[in-house]
Amino acid sequence: MKRVELINIGKSYDQKTNVIENINVSIEPGEFFVLVGPSGCGKSTMLRMIAGLESVTSGDLLIGDTKANHLQPSQRHLSMVFQNYALYPHLTVEQNIMFGLYTKKIQKPEQKKRCVEAAEMLGLQTLLKRKPRELSGGQRQRVALARAIVTQAPICLMDEPLSNLDAKLRAKMRSEIRQIQRKLGITMIYVTHDQTEAMTMADRMMILNGGHIQQVGKPLDIYNKPANTFVASFIGAPPMNLADARLKGQLLTFEDQRTLSLNSFDTNLSKQEVTVGVRPENIQLAQENETSFIVEVENVEVLGTETLITFAIGNNQQWLAKWNGQWNINVGDRVPIYIDQKDLFLFDKHDGHCLHAASTVSSEHVISKEVLA
């Protein structure tokens, strides 16, 4: 296991265009670290710099205790799984898996031993004589992963390896990759644009936007305490609802003149122009004498185990409410909703930074030792 550290890392292709700026992060040995963000945010470029496939323009890249800025990829002792798998079409599964060992001049009996171990781990034993064209997408992904595993490199880089798979197979492979990483104890750096992958797989994750770090932390910490409106709107499915409002004393006034009274809310804030945030699961059907708003339903999605209800607030901003179960609600219905003050987030309207995080978050459920025994 090795540590990877990025110190003031920057990347530019000319003096005017900075793709990545001032990246500082330390990835611990044995950690599953996820780089997540929208397309074009710089996450794949950062991974390629760690791999040695892109040069570092500024700053220091440390792998273990060694400065790696100018090391060749072969000298960095890491493996990589690409988005398109990069399998050799004329070689069998077995030959693809062992190709890296062949180039490193590993003895043939050792190559065979490692190949068999990786194939058993990934369920490829019956596919070793097939060519890539005879495999499904999920099987090709496993071959690419096996090729990375057999090198026994202490660091594995993965660049959106599941993006070509269907939703059901992606969910299965998320679990498999995480289990393999734990079993091998390697440091894994994983790039994705899918926040669900990031939330379910990461020990820690870094959220990027426009080449800048937005937040680094554990998935639940980021979900419960987003640093700014970008993180709040990016993490969560569905994402956090946001709308601009004015804060005066203990009254929030939205752009459509709806108001929320904050009578038990600490509003000792100097900012008056704010962005209000609330998670869809925290918008409830109002009970007697607790209505926050009456809203007109604009869309309904019944997903079996939950129902998503769309309505407008503020300056025609669409919000979502997520309710458990199946609800018989139609477009055009007027529905009373309730938002607990403790579930509100407040952000600076101009720079997006979080001013106040919700004081109630989903409680962590713990299984007692007696039950586990």
The pLDDT assigned to 360 comes to 58
> Exposure string (b/e) for 155-175, b if CB count within 10 Å is 16 or more?
bbbbbbbbeebeeeebeebbe
Domain 238-356 carries which CATH code?
Answer: 2.40.50.140
What is the overall mean pLDDT for the chain? 89
Domain boundary assignment for the chain: 4-224, 238-356
Q: Mean per-residue pLDDT for 13-35?
A: 90
How would residue 138 be classed by pLDDT, with cut points 50, 70 and 90? Answer: confident
Which pLDDT tens digit goes with each residue over 238-260?
Answer: 999 999 999 888 888 898 888 88
Cβ neighbour number for residue 256 with a 10 Å cutoff: 14
User: Considering the chain, what percentage of its residues have pLDDT values greater than 70?
Assistant: 94
Which pLDDT tens digit goes with each residue over 76-107?
Answer: 999 998 888 889 999 999 999 998 888 888 89
How would residue 268 be classed by pLDDT, with cut points 50, 70 and 90? Answer: low
How would residue 341 be classed by pLDDT, with cut points 50, 70 and 90? Answer: confident
Domain range 4-224, CATH architecture: 3-Layer(aba) Sandwich (3.40)
Which pLDDT tens digit goes with each residue over 41-70?
Answer: 999 999 999 999 999 999 999 998 899 999
pTM of this prediction exceeds 0.85: yes
